[in-house]
Amino acid sequence: MNTFPPDVMMKTISYYYLVNYCPPSHVGDLVVAAQGLRASLAEAAGMEVPAYFEAALPEVCWRIVAFHQASREPDPEVVQALVEVGSKADSSEAGAQKFQAAMADIAANPGRAKPDNRLHRHKGCRFCAAPCRYGYFSLVSEPVFKRLLGMLESENEKPAQSRDPVNVLWTYTMTHLWSVLGIREGFIRADHLGNLSYCLLMLATAKSRFALPEKQLKAFQTMNRDMIRGWRPVQIDLMGAAEGS
């Protein structure tokens, strides 16, 4: 297995998570939007784009499986199976569907899926509605939480009846996804957007060493799930993303 510079590898892993969160019918649009990102990663490795992603994929998959199994020695058969579907993940709608199904299976591994094994279980991960499908991306994509704190502070200054912290967090998350992709475009399902937003909030509070009260976390998750259920494609289009669910 080739070993690439850590910053290049982290950005490559982030790219595959963008594929994982993308509506399969829009994976071709994502690849077009990611041309600059893909070229910059290959250039940093001194390789052509197709050769780089073929060479980097085994390490990407090894790291993803290692995280979800919470092991330094991930199951090689699981890693290889992910490599096989990962090689076609962004080539077609069917390829994206198979890759996303494999990623969902890996995320269900008890190494991280069990509430007691989650990254920030004492900060609110136990209230997450989904297995840990977002924790690794929240780490490797290096979100800038100073921006989020500023946005929340501004929202707090509004009258109580007009505050919408969930919308603020979703907007922050979309902005973060744009920064990962390198352009102001996004392709993510509404359920992934909502759950990823909650995960980023957990990481932000963990880094700040501030735990939100349980009552607030539960209320936020209720609002978050309501927003996921009520989201419509036209609203996501206005934010620059492609499709909701």
Of the residues 82, 113, 144, which one is the last residue of a structural domain? 113
- Specify if 120 maps to a domain: yes
CA dihedral 16, 107, 123, 193 (to 10 degrees): 50
Examine the domain organization and report whether 18 and 34 are in the same domain. Answer: yes
Of the residues 67, 93, 113, which one is the last residue of a structural domain? 113
Examine the domain organization and report whether 67 and 153 are in the same domain. Answer: no
Examine the domain organization and report whether 133 and 228 are in the same domain. Answer: yes
- Specify if 64 maps to a domain: yes
Examine the domain organization and report whether 219 and 179 are in the same domain. Answer: yes
Of the chain, the percentage scoring pLDDT greater than 90 comes to 50
DSSP 213: P
Number of domain units in the chain: 2
- Specify if 245 maps to a domain: no
The model's pLDDT over 181-211, given as tens digits with 9 standing for 90+, comes to 999 988 999 889 988 988 888 888 777 666 5
DSSP 88: T
Total residues found in the chain within this entry = 245
Whole-angstrom distance, CA of residue 35 vs CA of residue 38: 5
Of the residues 113, 143, 174, which one is the last residue of a structural domain? 113
Examine the domain organization and report whether 106 and 131 are in the same domain. Answer: no
First to last CA, the chain: 37
Has residue 218 got a pLDDT over 80?
no
Residues paired with 241 in a beta bridge: 186
Pair of tokens at residue 113: 């899926």
Q: Is the dihedral of CA 121, 150, 220, 166 positive or negative?
A: negative
Q: Which domain holds residue 134?
A: 115-239
Whole-angstrom distance, CA of residue 127 vs CA of residue 129: 6
The model's pLDDT over 64-87, given as tens digits with 9 standing for 90+, comes to 999 999 889 999 999 999 999 999
